[in-house]
Structure 1
Amino acid sequence: MEGAITISVRELVSYVYRTGSIDERFQTNAALVEGTAIHQEIQKKYKEGDQSEVFLEYEYEKDQMQLHIQGRCDGLLESEKGPIIDEIKSTAMELDEIEETTHLVYWAQAKGYAFIYARKEKLNHIQVQLTYVQKKTKEKKRFLRTFTYEELSTFMEETIEEYSSYARILLHIREQKNQTIPDLSFPFPSYREGQRKLAGSVYRTVKEKRNLFAQAPTGIGKTISTLFPAIKALELDDMDRIFYLTAKTITRATAEEALLKMKEMGLQLRSVTLTAKDKICFQEETICQPDYCPFADGYYDRINGAVVDILLHETQMTRPVIEEYARKHRVCPFEFSLDLTDVVDVIIGDYNYIFDPRVSLKRLMPDRKRKTALLVDESHNLVERAREMYSASIHLQSYMTVKEDWHGENDTITKAAMAIEKGLNRLYSSEEEYRRLESVPGELEENMERFLSEAESILQDDAEGERADRLVDVYFESQRFMKILEFVDEHYRIIGESTVEGNFNLKLFCLDPSHVLKETTKSFRSGIFFSATLSPFAYYKEMLGGGKEDYILHLPSPYDSSQIDVMITPLSTRYKNRAHTLTELARRLQHQVEEHSGNHLFFFPSYQYMEMAYYEFRKLSDVDAVMQERGMGEDRREDFLAQFEVGGRLVGFAVLGGIFSEGVDLRGDRLNGVAVVGIGLAPRSFEKELIKDYFNEKKRNGYDYAYVFPGMNKVLQAGGRLIRSETDYGAIQLVDDRFLSKKYLQLLPGDWENYRILN
């Protein structure tokens, strides 16, 4: 047998019968949840003897190919004329616009279930029903047809015949993968120190369906040491795919390079890199409508040809490759890349595709998650990113704007916005800027629901213009708030912020994202969380949702401490002392440049401090110096880094925790020295204090959790830009008297311990 493919009835008929355009004039993020609720509501009203969610399966075998077709029909109903297959569909369309032939793909799905059931029960004929439910009114419209078994058998035979050429391509690329993975060896002559241990730990973790938290030093080769064993693990039963998740574009490129290296060693598997819609969109504006975008118009008529073409001719579907084939077949590059996630073996993308409740891939069904391993690169970043993903705010000014925009033209949306405005005004306080609230008032929650409903009515009528755009923004802001409200529990605080201008912001603030990260990871086969700076280890393991049952790995640095000249300069960088110590700071930085020839990068806790130090340094030194700009785009970032040439003598001034302090790889003599000014502490704030108090209540050191550990992580990341290989040498200067306190000395990595103090 050449091979077998398991496919759902829905996937089968969608491939064969989907047509038309991408048309996102207005779609609610709640559509999937709404659809599920509507299904359940209809199914509750089934009569005694009727069944819901009936599992059906069918084995098809022909010409050395086997298809295992399966699925769950919404309803199997009893009637005087025999059984009825019921397929339920929720719709935003008005029911009088829907005719029997409006959605042929829905009939195809229902007929697929009907064929399997009729074949199993040896029926000569069977009834098929489409039940449409209008989302807003909950009104129903039904179409009932009777099919003979011969008709259904012919339909299924023709459907499979249409799908079979694509199925053979899938079997071919699977065979390529299965033949090349066993012969794949580590794509370098030897392992660096620690690499073999990391790779072995990753393989064991995936094999045992567990999670791993690994701190692996900068330069060890974390990407290849995690991807290689995960790919070898694709040979295991119930292991189909890998998600390689990153926070930055540059680390995505590193993963692509690792896959290319393994391809050169003979590996044949397919990967796709996901790029944000607004970055990869071919149009000036991201408007996914057929009358605006030729790549959305007729997308589903052309997508199958695009998928087949790229699968036959490419293995690595990076952004340039996606764009090339998208233009060739005139399809939306973003939707094209998402469609490819269904058939590739490795998916490279941002954290949000898995962890963000707003944008996570809805096509990831539970059975597919259980066969997928997550590789989470630079996972120290995920703590703060998850905190942002699971927090949400609404703003009084937003609803005031909606009220003004629609006053005198649409009373319902105006009244809904006014009701929220009044509710938020009741929470406003002229006496305190920030305060903690115990709950979101029930009346406000009800008014938010009403506002969302009224806004949907306007937006689904294709409202256009600036005020419609503003309404869309407020709609999604409100919807996100209501979505996050479902998560609010003891890990959250509700914050009211009152401004002197009279505005008021209501925020659902996630203090501790560990519980949601744990729940998300639990649905996948394995989660591998790795970084050079999971320090202190216990803090990051806890914050990333780790438990006692998870594996941990802490690898020492493979580099000799003699490669780094670590200096601690006990100079105060506290805000109140900065002006007083500025000249001395510039002298210390100038001394570093004189003592260590080559290129240097100096990191500062803020743009303002960086700019002050830059101009003071320029007074003392004639060495060329460049400074990070606010809001630099990707091209400007690349230009900035390109100036650090081998044999050069350049000083770069940058912001700690910014785009140049992690994920940047200036190997060899492109970087010879780093200075980190300050201990990375975030300024005191109401939110940070809430985090501190929360962890104090949990018997942790709240100040460390809120300020010290995140701050020192920035320091370690910045310092990690220096030594990237066994042949790199250079200097690190840590400028702050607090670095010499016991708390901070304990957080320095082992290869920084032979420091000298510059008095």
Structure 2
Amino acid sequence: MKAMPAHRISVTALADFSCRTGDLNPAGNAAPTAREGILAHQKMQRAAVLDSENQATSIESEVSLVCTITTAQGDVRLRGRVDLLDRTRHCLTEIKTTLVPAEQVPDSQQSLQWAQLYLYGFIYLCAEESAAGLEQLQLELVHVNIRADTQEYQRRTLSRVELEQYARSALETYLQWLERVSLWQQKLMASARDMSFPFGDFRAGQRDMAVAIYRAARDAQPLMCEAPTGIGKTLSALFPAIKSLGEGQVSQIAYLTAKVAGRLSALQALSHMQSSGLAVTAVQIRAKQATCFCSNGRCERDESGRCPMTLDFFDRLPAARDELLDCGIISDAQLDDIAWEHQLCPFELALQLLPWVHVVIADYNYVFDPLVKLPHFSDSCSKTLLLIDEAHNLVDRSRSMFSAQLSRSDCLEQASLCRQFHPLVAHALDNLARQLLAHAAGQVDELQIVDSMSGVLGRSAGVVIEAMVASFSQAPSLPDSSGELFRTLCRFVVISDLFGEHHRCITSINKAGRRKEVLVKLFCLDASTALLRQYRLFRASIVFSATLRPAAFYRDALGMPETTGLLELTSPFPPERANHAIVDWIDTRYRKRTESLDALVELIYRTSDIRHGNYLVFFPSYAYLQQAWEAYRSKYPEREVWRQSSDQSRVQQHELLEHLEQPGHRVGFAILGGVFGEGIDYIGERLIGVIVVSPGLPGLDAQTQLVASHYQQQGHDGFDFAYRYPGFTRVLQTVGRLVRSETDSGTVILVDDRFKQRFYRALFPQHWQVQLPRDQAKLLEQTEQFWDTLEHDTDSPEA
């Protein structure tokens, strides 16, 4: 029996890895859509295989080529599919579509296209019987300019020796790399098999979560898991996933989170396992803007706007790639240092590692967003395990991913900036601004909502994109502000194409001085179908969070299949570590806020005065927060207070968190669902009291009303799905900041009589022991008793 080849390699994969040279993403080159490319291919192929009388020619299209080559690493099966093959002339033709003349197609792109042809030619000479004695081969590269409807041919004749040397050199490079990757895989399998849980014993619930995730990965089944804060979700998810990876059930883990803190937690969990003997490779994909050396001031773009870190990128890539693989778990600092050493864009360098590492840690958008999702997560994911942390965030995030908007004033402002040096861009923007005005012609109301849209705006935006791309390589470069508009236009065009029954077109108009402003938003009501489509690419999708209740709501909103397994875990910590109370005598409804403000301020002061420490008061809006903060400072100027503001930078937020680590007695005013209410561990004395003001219902705006109507039409309670469930999720997340370890303790006060309703009480976690004091005096008495009891238990000999 003939032995199976050691490796099966496609021409595309081999060329992409071993044969790329030159610049990365060269500017000044717009590409056709996938559909345009397919249609152009098919048109040319039909013309080639049939003559003018519709009779077959000697040319064949979409011809599969396969050969087996013996190498030092074993036999290799190399395969590919060439666009056109003429066996009588021994000529291979590759078709590439473009929107520009062939001479404007960048050298780096053309060299890759020729590389594929060389490899096809080598396979043909190896496998084709009729080519057995052939010493040279004719190769054709055809660029089909869709915009001009022209074809430009380039022809090269290469000898058998040249093609074989080229192919074997490429194979040697690729196989050496595969050998290194295989060595890592062997080390992973051995170490994962022997690895014990890093902290010895599991916390209550951790083992249940780990077992459920292991089985889901093994059986390729979706899973939704609600695990309370403090249980150690990150490690409970990654530990069984790594075990599955080591056993070969999955080939890669994609760990997605909504926030930077979540990604750092994932890296930390991997480091804990590494300390327990695990050999694993991992990379974090950070936001491009956050990693860019140009944005950080470490380098400067040239006069054409090109970043020096992208020039000759593929020539310097191999050495950097080798270094990074040796790192195992690649830290941000290691990635940046190696990228700087080799003068490479760190973001793009990280992307080059995606096919080769065991664990990829990234934001949701790199898997789900139609504009920025990575090709790596669009193909060959059938053995990739998808872990989605803090999955409650994905509902709103996914709506944003599939929404877009265009502003007339933004177009006019950018047109003015471009008029002198980039008149074609300015002209296209002026036309788009006119189309926006025409779109709103006849609209009487400030807001108009329809369930359909014309393709005119999308096409006009596409013209602007093409004009901007054509200007990228020109000097002087486009204004810096054009980058944001370019991304906005791209999103609008893509979402225009995706616009369907789950979208609404919202047009708002207002008069800004002498100029009429028109804002067109393509709003996604429900992205669950799009999410499900992406889940199906993976072996199994596992979503988890501290707040996925009710399960039926989140299963539908997240697009999880009906076959999804459900796991609900209870808190691992003693319920007596926290004191929960509902204050029903302060009305936080919008119309009553001014009237009840004095009582709220008094409540905050009196409850935080019982025990010194850090307290956080959470509000549903910045306006309400500001109102309460000013009233509190005015009445109690001697108290240390701080607040979250809408324009706070990450640095300022980090400084505030560091300040909380210092001993003191202070009250913070923050936003429900904001950065201080999710994803942060306030360990020990960093937080001893949480006051939640209102059930956190989203504001009554047109978009949320549309979402409510959509769910109502789907047979659900629209108000619950659009307002009450999302609002209470924020409450749960916020309260979950308080007790995150066995030694944490504190008080929780829910301010609003609606918390007493059966609807909310049914959503309370099992470990909440909620009290209903009749007035403030009783609340203060119960709070003092809680702290006294806790201190007594702590001081007792049995504690």
TM-score range, shorter chain: over 0.9
For this pair of structures, how many residues does the alignment match?
753
Residue identity in the other structure for 2:560 = G
Q: For 2:631 and 2:703, locate their aligned partners in 1 and report how far apart those are by CA, in whole Å.
A: 34
Report the equivalent of 2:246.
235
Is 1:251 aligned to residue 259 of structure 2? no
Report the equivalent of 1:705.
721
Report the equivalent of 1:119.
126
Q: Secondary structure at the match of 2:194?
A: coil
Residue identity in the other structure for 2:641 = A
CA 1:248/1:448 → structure 2, altered by over 3 Å: closer, same or farther? closer
Q: For 2:728 and 2:92, locate their aligned partners in 1 and report how far apart those are by CA, in whole Å.
A: 61
Report the equivalent of 1:361.
374
Q: For 2:563 and 2:300, locate their aligned partners in 1 and report how far apart those are by CA, in whole Å.
A: 47
Residue identity in the other structure for 1:393 = Q
Report the equivalent of 1:510.
524
Report the equivalent of 1:394.
406
Report the equivalent of 1:746.
762
- Residues 288-332 of structure 1: per-residue CA shift (max 9 Å, x gap): 7698543223222111000101212x1111211111111222211
On the 8 A contact 2:503/2:525 being kept in 1, the answer is: yes
Q: CA deviation at 1:750?
A: 1.6
On the 8 A contact 1:272/1:317 being kept in 2, the answer is: yes
CA 1:151/1:441 → structure 2, altered by over 3 Å: closer, same or farther? closer
Instruction: Say which of 10, 14, 19 aligns to 2:12.
Output: 10
Instruction: Say which of 221, 237, 241 aligns to 1:226.
Output: 237
Residue identity in the other structure for 2:398 = A
On the 8 A contact 1:596/1:731 being kept in 2, the answer is: no
- Residues 564-590 of structure 1: per-residue CA shift (max 9 Å, x gap): 100111111122222221121112112
On the 8 A contact 1:50/1:75 being kept in 2, the answer is: no
On the 8 A contact 2:189/2:247 being kept in 1, the answer is: no
On the 8 A contact 1:6/1:67 being kept in 2, the answer is: no
CA 1:615/1:165 → structure 2, altered by over 3 Å: closer, same or farther? same
Q: For 2:314 and 2:294, locate their aligned partners in 1 and report how far apart those are by CA, in whole Å.
A: 19
- Please list every run of 5 or more consecutive structure 1 residues that lacks an aligned counterpart in the other structure: none
CA 1:748/1:53 → structure 2, altered by over 3 Å: closer, same or farther? farther
Report the equivalent of 1:670.
686
Q: Secondary structure at the match of 2:549?
A: coil
- Please list every run of 5 or more consecutive structure 2 residues that lacks an aligned counterpart in the other structure: 50-55, 776-799
Report the equivalent of 2:655.
639
CA 1:629/1:28 → structure 2, altered by over 3 Å: closer, same or farther? farther
Higher mean C-alpha displacement, 530-539 vs 636-645: 636-645
Residue identity in the other structure for 1:505 = L
Q: For 1:658 and 1:30, locate their aligned partners in 2 and report how far apart those are by CA, in whole Å.
A: 40
CA 1:258/1:330 → structure 2, altered by over 3 Å: closer, same or farther? same
Is 1:756 aligned to residue 772 of structure 2? yes
Report the equivalent of 1:548.
562
Task: Give TM-score, length-normalised by structure 1.
Answer: 0.92
Q: CA deviation at 1:351?
A: 0.6
Q: For 2:105 and 2:537, locate their aligned partners in 1 and report how far apart those are by CA, in whole Å.
A: 38
Report the equivalent of 2:787.
none
CA 1:233/1:129 → structure 2, altered by over 3 Å: closer, same or farther? same
Q: CA deviation at 1:225?
A: 0.8
On the 8 A contact 2:416/2:426 being kept in 1, the answer is: no
Q: For 2:667 and 2:723, locate their aligned partners in 1 and report how far apart those are by CA, in whole Å.
A: 29
After TM superposition, list the pairs within 5 Å mapping 1:642-657 onto structure 2. 642-645=658-661, 648-657=664-673
- Residues 86-105 of structure 1: per-residue CA shift (max 9 Å, x gap): 22223455335679999333
After TM superposition, list the pairs within 5 Å mapping 1:10-89 onto structure 2. 10-22=12-24, 24-26=26-28, 28=30, 34-47=36-49, 48=56, 50-63=59-72, 65-66=73-74, 68-82=76-90, 84-89=91-96
On the 8 A contact 2:84/2:94 being kept in 1, the answer is: no
Q: For 2:645 and 2:115, locate their aligned partners in 1 and report how far apart those are by CA, in whole Å.
A: 56
Q: Secondary structure at the match of 1:750?
A: coil
Q: For 2:679 and 2:442, locate their aligned partners in 1 and report how far apart those are by CA, in whole Å.
A: 43
Q: Secondary structure at the match of 2:630?
A: helix
Report the equivalent of 1:322.
335
Q: For 1:231 and 1:303, locate their aligned partners in 2 and report how far apart those are by CA, in whole Å.
A: 29
- Residues 392-432 of structure 1: per-residue CA shift (max 9 Å, x gap): 11222234446656679847963774365145334245631
Q: Secondary structure at the match of 1:182?
A: helix
Report the equivalent of 1:689.
705
Residue identity in the other structure for 1:111 = Y
Q: CA deviation at 1:553?
A: 1.3
Report the equivalent of 1:280.
291
Q: CA deviation at 1:642?
A: 1.4
Residue identity in the other structure for 1:356 = D
CA 1:185/1:95 → structure 2, altered by over 3 Å: closer, same or farther? same
On the 8 A contact 1:428/1:504 being kept in 2, the answer is: no
Taking only the aligned residue pairs, the percentage that are identical comes to 32
Residue identity in the other structure for 1:105 = L
- Residues 697-732 of structure 1: per-residue CA shift (max 9 Å, x gap): 112111111111111111111101001022221110
Q: CA deviation at 1:612?
A: 2.6
Q: For 1:650 and 1:101, locate their aligned partners in 2 and report how far apart those are by CA, in whole Å.
A: 59
CA 1:98/1:265 → structure 2, altered by over 3 Å: closer, same or farther? closer
Is 1:136 aligned to residue 147 of structure 2? yes
- Residues 633-657 of structure 1: per-residue CA shift (max 9 Å, x gap): 2222221111223754332221111
On the 8 A contact 2:22/2:108 being kept in 1, the answer is: no
Instruction: Say which of 298, 320, 328 aligns to 2:312.
Output: 298
On the 8 A contact 1:255/1:348 being kept in 2, the answer is: yes
Residue identity in the other structure for 1:72 = G
Q: CA deviation at 1:435?
A: 1.6
Report the equivalent of 1:335.
348
Q: CA deviation at 1:41?
A: 4.0
Q: For 1:151 and 1:386, locate their aligned partners in 2 and report how far apart those are by CA, in whole Å.
A: 50
CA 1:12/1:320 → structure 2, altered by over 3 Å: closer, same or farther? same
- Residues 42-81 of structure 1: per-residue CA shift (max 9 Å, x gap): 3343404754444444444544x24645443232423532
- Residues 207-232 of structure 1: per-residue CA shift (max 9 Å, x gap): 12221111111111110111111111
Report the equivalent of 1:603.
618
Is 1:104 aligned to residue 104 of structure 2? no
After TM superposition, list the pairs within 5 Å mapping 1:110-509 onto structure 2. 110-122=117-129, 123-124=131-132, 125=134, 126-237=137-248, 239-284=250-295, 293-312=307-326, 314-367=327-380, 369-401=381-413, 410=423, 414=427, 417-418=430-431, 421-422=434-435, 424-428=437-441, 431-457=444-470, 459=471, 462=474, 464=476, 473-501=484-512, 502-509=516-523
On the 8 A contact 2:283/2:331 being kept in 1, the answer is: yes
Q: Secondary structure at the match of 1:181?
A: helix
Q: Secondary structure at the match of 1:500?
A: strand
Q: For 1:419 and 1:511, locate their aligned partners in 2 and report how far apart those are by CA, in whole Å.
A: 26
On the 8 A contact 1:428/1:498 being kept in 2, the answer is: no
On the 8 A contact 1:247/1:381 being kept in 2, the answer is: yes
Higher mean C-alpha displacement, 136-145 vs 674-683: 136-145
On the 8 A contact 1:371/1:524 being kept in 2, the answer is: yes
Residue identity in the other structure for 2:182 = L
Residue identity in the other structure for 1:522 = R
Residue identity in the other structure for 1:88 = I
Residue identity in the other structure for 2:393 = N
Q: For 2:107 and 2:155, locate their aligned partners in 1 and report how far apart those are by CA, in whole Å.
A: 9
CA 1:718/1:2 → structure 2, altered by over 3 Å: closer, same or farther? farther
On the 8 A contact 1:573/1:735 being kept in 2, the answer is: yes
Q: For 1:448 and 1:130, locate their aligned partners in 2 and report how far apart those are by CA, in whole Å.
A: 31
Q: CA deviation at 1:734?
A: 0.6
Q: For 1:595 and 1:38, locate their aligned partners in 2 and report how far apart those are by CA, in whole Å.
A: 75
Q: CA deviation at 1:450?
A: 4.4
On the 8 A contact 2:30/2:99 being kept in 1, the answer is: no
CA 1:230/1:50 → structure 2, altered by over 3 Å: closer, same or farther? farther
